[in-house]
Amino acid sequence: GAGVSQTPSNKVTEKGKYVELRCDPISGHTALYWYRQSLGQGPEFLIYFQGTGAADDSGLPNDRFFAVRPEGSVSTLKIQRTERGDSAVYLCASSSAGDTQYFGPGTRLTVL
Amino acid sequence: AQKITQTQPGMFVQEKEAVTLDCTYDTSDPSYGLFWYKQPSSGEMIFLIYQGSYDQQNATEGRYSLNFQKARKSANLVISASQLGDSAMYFCAMRETNTGTASKLTFGTGTRLQVTL
C-alpha cells in the first residue's frame, strides 16, 4: 500500500513569508506526527494528532507554527512570518494508535 | 537532560562483517519502547526494529538485532553481515509509553555508518 506522502518535496521561500506543508498519512492510521530535522541532528518532535485533535503540541517552537488535521487524515503544518532559522527538513509520520511510526520523505524548507 | 545518547558520530565496517551501534537512554517511566531507524542519503526514515521495555527477548529482524540491557539502559543495534547498502545514518529513538498509546519519539543525534569493501 501507499506510504506517507509529503508535499512539496522542496520549498524555498523568503524571510517573512507564509508557508504550508502537507502530509498525507498511511490510510487508516489514526495518529499523525510532525518532526523537524536540522542539518546533522536527529528529528525533533513538533506536534501529534490523534484523529482530528492535537494530542500534544509541546514541541511547537512558538506561535508562528500551527498545524491542523480537520478530517482526521491529511494534515497541514503552517508557518507564519518565516525566519531563516526555520530552514530544516520537516518530517511527517503516521501510526496506528501506539504502533510503529512510519515516516514520509520530508519537505526541505529553505528560508532565504 | 538528554534522553537518548548515541556516542559514535561515525563508524566504519567492512562488508560482510558485523557492527554494533551504541545507544543509551534515560527515562523514569517503567513502560517505554525503543526504536532504530535508518536514514539513507535520500532522507527518508526507515523503521528497522523495535524493543518494548517489558519484552523478555531481544528483538531481531533479519540481519538486525537489538542488544537490550535494561539495567544499563542500553539498546545497541547489531547489524550482521554488513552490505554496502547499509551505509546510512542510524537513529535510536524512544517512546515513553510501551504500546497502545500514541506518543512522540525522542531521537538521538545519530551514527553515520560507512560500509567499505
Kindly list the residues from chain A whose CB atom is less than 8 angstroms away from the CB atom of residue B93: 42
pLDDT of residue B2: 60
Cβ neighbours of residue A69 closer than 8 Å, sequence gap 6 or more: A32, A49, A51, A52, A54, A75, A76
Read off the pLDDT of residues A24-64 as tens digits, 9 standing for 90 and up. Answer: 999 999 999 999 999 989 999 999 999 999 989 999 999 99
- Out of B45, B104, B106, the one facing A56 most closely (by C-beta) is B104
Read off the pLDDT of residues B54-77 as tens digits, 9 standing for 90 and up. Answer: 998 999 999 999 999 999 999 999
Grid cell 553481515 in the structure block, residue: B81
Residue B15 in this model has a pLDDT that exceeds 70? yes
B50 vs A: CB within 8 A: yes
Distance CA A75, CA A49 (A): 9
Closest-CA distance, B37 to chain A, in angstroms, reads 10
B100 band by pLDDT with thresholds 50, 70 and 90:
low
pLDDT of residue A76: 98
The pLDDT mean for chain A works out to 95
Distance CA B66, CA B34 (A): 9
Radius of gyration of chain B (CA): 14
DSSP A52: T
Read off the pLDDT of residues B80-99 as tens digits, 9 standing for 90 and up. Answer: 999 999 999 999 999 987 55
Closest by CA to B106, choosing from A109, A10, A33, is A33
Residues A6 and A26: beta-carbon distance below 8 Å:
no
Can you tell me whether residue B52 is helix, strand or coil?
strand
Residue A70 in this model has a pLDDT that exceeds 60? yes
Residue A13 in this model has a pLDDT that exceeds 70? yes
Kindly list the residues from chain B whose CB atom is less than 8 angstroms away from the CB atom of residue A4: none
